Structure 1
């Protein structure tokens, strides 16, 4: 398994002691469908994040996937909040659904910003410092998924004089996106994630359609997880965890193994 990034936060010791629980990245979903701990689930799903050609995005986990893997949703919310406050990870609001959220380890997110910064380096000049200001002053103090324009400028100004071009650079890099309801509010975002979010939506539809065409709208998990998706670069395991956690599918244990069924309306 690849190494999970270590942060300098209070959660470092906890993560180190649990690193041996991250499991086998190639194991069947039937063997690791549920976990007792949110952080262990995060570690395993990070290690199992699909390798996608031509997409430069650090591993992320959907909140819905955690809901499918840790049966107590209140526990998931409580442990995510603790890890967020300890600056182990960040939560991001996605535009793929009303309550879709992604989770990314903070060290992975900082790598993602650095990668975007390096790619843009030849196109801009003096405004480069805004990326460091954002990492040091905004991410360190603003833990929520959104931020108001004035607060963003105020925090960035701790690094230097903020210009409109600085804000435009952050938007163009995909580090922040404007909220549709209020143009003075931004979502803190994951750069380069657009194509994967499109695949997420299309993959959801493809799997629901696949199961809905079957007589009983169900399929054995061992069979289903081997099918390849045409409409999404994300793998079947990624989508099944999401769809089960969001309530679109359900899993039932039978003597023959786990069956995945379309949830009734």
Structure 2
């Protein structure tokens, strides 16, 4: 298994920024396709747009992997292997029915640490719930969602030991308080499923503005191409466009739209052409 650099070290962050800056100077045509999922993940992670406001650790959309690795079955198989090996986590997004984000586990834990840092000074029982999540839930629950009952089961033994030592009333027996789960929801670590109120999705804190950008960026690029006579544009020209509605760059959206089937590519003597896919 390939070892990916941890995102928590300053040196790694500096190298990531350098890789990102270097990657943004090259054309998407130079690295549109990859031989395997691990290579695609590493490159896309390095090329994740650097955004000052609403900082979020790099994430990759599954649709972007589909655009770069032609065999979708291979992508799914390799993602599953990396997920089981606890290299990365997958997250269900509310931007589309089949939208999923991929984030390396080190990056995700670092993202949670940012939330914890902002909560310094609040009540201990609220503050410590993040530690219980990282140690006793994320390590064993690798799926995208979790049931309310599972949260109670996985945390109860931990909570009981902690509060027994503190002579808490929980030493008499009990369960995880709803306030603990509410803290995680408010922090953006969990989101409640609308269909089943007893189910939660694991989510990425601070990703809200980026999710809005994904939806709006898709619409802006499709609209831009649809207004052209043949609903197409040279990739080299399209990459130079600056989006008005999304903090994410054009390359990020093009990979997403190609992988989801909304756009397609055609090779021409003058370079790669991006076209709106016909219904």
Q: TM-score, normalised by structure 1?
A: 0.91
SS at match of 1:180: coil
Structure 2: runs of 5 or more not aligned: 8-18, 161-175
Matches within 5 A, 1:3-152: 4-6=4-6, 24-26=22-24, 27-152=26-151
SS at match of 2:206: coil
| Alpha-carbon distance in structure 1 between the residues aligned to 2:110 and 2:245 | 28
- What is the deviation of 1:185? 0.2
Deviates more, 1:24-33 or 1:156-165: 156-165
Would you say the 8 A contact 2:6–2:107 is kept in 1? no
Would you say the 8 A contact 1:133–1:158 is kept in 2? no
- What is the deviation of 1:6? 4.1
Equivalent residue number for residue 240 of structure 2: 226
| Alpha-carbon distance in structure 1 between the residues aligned to 2:186 and 2:142 | 22
- What is the deviation of 1:163? 2.0
- What is the deviation of 1:124? 3.4
- What is the deviation of 1:160? 1.2
Would you say the 8 A contact 2:40–2:65 is kept in 1? yes
Would you say the 8 A contact 1:66–1:76 is kept in 2? yes
Instruction: Assess, with a 3 A threshold, how the Cα gap between structure 1 residues 255 and 62 changes in structure 2: closer, same or farther.
Output: same
| Alpha-carbon distance in structure 2 between the residues aligned to 1:250 and 1:158 | 52
Equivalent residue number for residue 263 of structure 1: 277
| Alpha-carbon distance in structure 2 between the residues aligned to 1:6 and 1:76 | 22
CA distances 1:67-118 after superposition (whole Å, capped 9, x unpaired):
0000110000000000000000000000000000000000000000010111
Equivalent residue number for residue 253 of structure 1: 267
| Alpha-carbon distance in structure 1 between the residues aligned to 2:137 and 2:5 | 20
Runs of 4+ in 1 over 4 A off after TM superposition: none
SS at match of 2:158: coil
SS at match of 2:215: helix
Q: Which has the larger radius of gyration?
A: 2
CA distances 1:129-165 after superposition (whole Å, capped 9, x unpaired):
1101100111111110010000012112242143222
Structure 1: runs of 5 or more not aligned: 8-21
| Alpha-carbon distance in structure 2 between the residues aligned to 1:167 and 1:32 | 42
SS at match of 1:157: helix
Equivalent residue number for residue 211 of structure 2: 197
| Alpha-carbon distance in structure 2 between the residues aligned to 1:264 and 1:61 | 26
Q: How many residues align?
A: 250
- What is the deviation of 1:33? 0.3
SS at match of 1:64: helix
The answer on 1:180 being equivalent to 2:194 is: yes
RMSD: 1.7
